[in-house]
């Protein structure tokens, strides 16, 4: 199994449930019950704050966001505040690493390779400092990366804007960069996606209108496995259920 990366299309999972699942998978990976694993999924609308988050990033106030149905979580990952929502591909690799900085650079390269297959010329900006971690198209940020390592095994990971509603990024200081323009695969390809304009009273768009997600998910899964030097093996949540707590994974599967 050491030569494999198990890739699981986990559907849509509430953020708190995904956190719990990651922890159970990390424990199983540390105990060598499973090989490296990557969850690919979507979240309902949520803002997550990283270890470098600062006061003032949630400019509208917590109650305003919650009134719009957006949850807020403080996490142990690196980075600052970001948004997850329908139409955005989130990847949580649970992998053994020795060098966290090299691992983050590996994720950037993998996502750039996957986007290249879609005809999008993306780049990393690591030489400009940690605030610019992620994947960019010119000066526009398309994918965010924030990881946490404990006991030599990672949790958290990356988020690729595919065809999600981009307005929630404008309602916070996204990634700690007040003037950063966020973009998506759909926007870069000139394809209509979820609403990107509208008043503050309008709900967050559902995402998925472009039909891009299945292809992007497939490309990203393959690219990350290749970058890690692993053979991709597609597995289900049910398969993971045999390796970690059945109650935990069963609850997540039902939530999805």
**How many residues are listed for the chain in this entry?**
256
DSSP class of residue 128?
G
Domains plus CATH for the chain? Answer: 4-255 (3.30.930.10)
pLDDT of residue 86: 95
pTM of the predicted protein model: 0.88
Q: Which of 175, 187, 237, 249 is catalytic?
A: 175
pLDDT of residue 58: 79
For residues 214-241, average pLDDT: 94
Q: Residues with Cβ < 8 Å from 126, sequence gap 6 or more?
A: 105, 108, 132, 133
Among 63, 83, 57, 109, CA closest to 205: 83
Question: What is the spatial distance between Cα 26 and Cα 147, in angstroms, rounded to a whole number?
Answer: 13
Q: Residues 188, 142: contact at Cβ < 8 Å?
A: yes
Among 160, 200, 256, CA closest to 60: 200
Indicate if the pLDDT at residue 176 is higher than 90: no
Q: Is 126 exposed, middle or buried (0-12, 13-18, 19+ CB in 10 A)?
A: middle
Six-digit token string for 214? 């299945």
> 112-167 pLDDT, tens per residue?
999 999 999 999 998 998 888 999 999 999 999 999 999 999 999 999 999 999 98
> 3-51 pLDDT, tens per residue?
999 999 999 999 999 999 999 999 999 999 899 999 999 999 999 887 6
Indicate if the pLDDT at residue 183 is higher than 90: yes
Q: Is 8 a catalytic residue?
A: no
């Amino acid at each position: 199994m050491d030569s494999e990366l198990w890739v699981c299309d986990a559907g849509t999972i509430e953020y708190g449930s995904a956190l719990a699942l990651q922890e159970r998978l990390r424990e199983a990976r540390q105990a060598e019950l499973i090989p490296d694993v990557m969850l690919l999924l979507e979240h309902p609308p949520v803002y997550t704050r990283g270890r470098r988050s600062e006061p003032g990033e949630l400019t509208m106030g917590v109650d305003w966001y919650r009134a719009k149905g957006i949850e807020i979580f403080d996490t142990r990952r690196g980075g600052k505040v970001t948004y997850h929502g329908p139409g955005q591909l989130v990847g949580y690799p649970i992998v053994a690493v020795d060098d966290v900085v090299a691992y983050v650079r590996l994720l950037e390269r993998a996502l750039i390779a996957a986007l290249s297959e879609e005809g999008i010329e993306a780049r990393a900006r690591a030489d400009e400092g940690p605030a610019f971690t992620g994947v960019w198209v010119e000066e526009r940020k398309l994918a965010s990366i924030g990881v946490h390592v404990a006991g030599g095994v990672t949790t958290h990971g990356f988020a690729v804007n595919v065809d999600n509603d981009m307005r929630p990024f404008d309602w916070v200081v996204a990634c700690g960069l007040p003037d950063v323009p966020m973009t998506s695969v759909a926007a870069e390809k000139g394809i209509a996606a979820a609403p990107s304009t509208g008043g503050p009273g309008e709900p967050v768009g559902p995402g998925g209108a472009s039909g891009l997600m299945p292809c992007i998910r497939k490309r990203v899964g393959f690219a990350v496995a290749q970058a890690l030097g692993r053979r991709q093996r597609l597995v289900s949540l049910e398969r993971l259920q045999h390796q970690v707590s059945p109650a935990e994974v069963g609850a997540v599967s039902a939530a999805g």
